[in-house]
């Protein structure tokens, strides 16, 4: 039962981007690329990097605070905090309990979720279910500091990745048209090795003489990744729209993972959504993996509003390959 005075679903949004702007010209110079090469192939014009004294919870904190304030609820009513990240403060312990402590949430559990670029969708699906089951508010935060995992000599990863955080507050739905209306969460381990950080896990443990390239990101098979992303995201979107009996024209906002403008354009064309319904932050903020969707949901509210009854489609795919789509009712 909903005890939040008929409010429900996604009710609070927050975002944070570090101050340091890194323009394409800097990277193109370092990699010997011609002017305009990065934007033509990715749609990215600039991205943000953290300062040397910032860790993951430092950038997750302001996004979470903004979402809680935007929600207008008593922070004591938040019963769970989920942090989707691939770059925690430490490998152990998880970062979510520290974030909960910094936020001063007296009744919240906290756990990290590692789902790469699709991590926010998995966390949001869990949040929606837990909010419904327990009748409480859930805070979902996605944040990454990928600037410290980029191989500066590898073109494929260096031109794309960035640092940012986004957050939402989820309440139990007040009626059946709020919250998650349809969901598709999937994985395909056949492509497991295409996007990875090879070293540091139990397969290739850290050792003192480890080559630095082994604990930096590697992105291989660009054409395969592109084709797999377009096909998977298209099929997933059509699947959940069919589940919900919703036409593409009836989707009010589409928030895709900000991976590459060509992927986003191809998927949007395939399932037939108008470009003016697509939330885009890629050009100014780059690809911050799981953080891009909640970041875009919050940042784009500066120029658009989410009204009661609106339907928002979320789509993501990333390393693993882990993918998913959610249809959200406001």
Name the residues annotated as catalytic. Answer: 117, 257, 287
Q: At what angle do helices 292-299 and 119-134 cross, to 10 degrees?
A: 70
Q: What angle do CA 203, 208, 210 make, to 5 degrees?
A: 55
CA atoms lying within 13 Å on the CB side of residue 257: 33
Q: What angle do CA 132, 167, 140 make, to 5 degrees?
A: 35
Q: What angle do CA 171, 141, 94 make, to 5 degrees?
A: 120
Q: In this structure, what are the phi and psi dihedrals at residue 108, rounded to the nearest 5 degrees?
A: -105, 135
Identify which of 247, 225, 223 has the alpha carbon closest to the alpha carbon of residue 237: 247
Give the C-alpha distances (Å, rounded to integers) separating 267 from 45, 55, 113, 115, 158.
Answer: 21, 34, 26, 21, 24
Give the separation between CA 112 and CA 169, rounded to whole angstroms. 16
């Amino acid at each position: 039962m909903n005890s939040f005075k008929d409010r429900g679903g996604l009710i609070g949004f927050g975002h944070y981007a570090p101050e340091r702007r890194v323009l394409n010209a800097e990277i193109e110079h370092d990699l010997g690329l011609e002017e305009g090469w990065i934007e033509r192939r990715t749609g990215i014009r600039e991205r943000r990097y953290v300062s040397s004294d910032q860790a993951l919870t430092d950038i997750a904190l302001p996004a979470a605070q903004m979402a809680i304030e935007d929600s207008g609820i008593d922070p004591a009513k938040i019963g769970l905090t989920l942090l989707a990240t691939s770059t925690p403060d430490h490998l152990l312990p998880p970062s979510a309990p520290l974030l909960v402590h910094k936020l001063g949430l007296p009744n919240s559990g906290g756990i990290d979720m590692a789902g790469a670029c699709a991590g926010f969708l998995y966390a949001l699906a869990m949040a929606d279910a837990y909010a419904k089951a327990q009748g409480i508010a859930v805070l979902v935060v996605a944040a990454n500091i990928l600037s410290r995992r980029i191989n500066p000599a590898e073109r494929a990863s260096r031109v794309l990745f960035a640092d940012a955080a986004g957050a939402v507050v989820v309440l139990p739905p007040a009626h059946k048209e709020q919250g998650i209306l349809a969901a598709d969460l999937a994985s395909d381990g056949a492509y497991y090795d295409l996007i990875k950080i090879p070293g540091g896990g139990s397969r290739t443990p850290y050792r003192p003489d480890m080559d630095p390239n082994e604990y930096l990101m590697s992105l291989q098979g660009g054409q395969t990744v592109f084709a797999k992303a377009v096909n998977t995201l298209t099929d997933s979107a059509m699947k959940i729209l069919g589940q919900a009996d919703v036409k593409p024209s009836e989707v009010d906002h589409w928030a895709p993972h900000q991976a590459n403008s060509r992927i986003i354009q191809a998927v949007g064309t395939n399932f037939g959504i108008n470009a003016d319904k697509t939330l885009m932050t890629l050009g100014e903020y780059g690809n911050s993996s799981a953080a891009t969707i909640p970041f875009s949901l919050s940042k784009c509210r500066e120029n658009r509003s989410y009204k009661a009854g609106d339907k928002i489609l979320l789509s993501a795919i990333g390393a693993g390959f882990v993918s998913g789509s959610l249809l959200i009712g406001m």
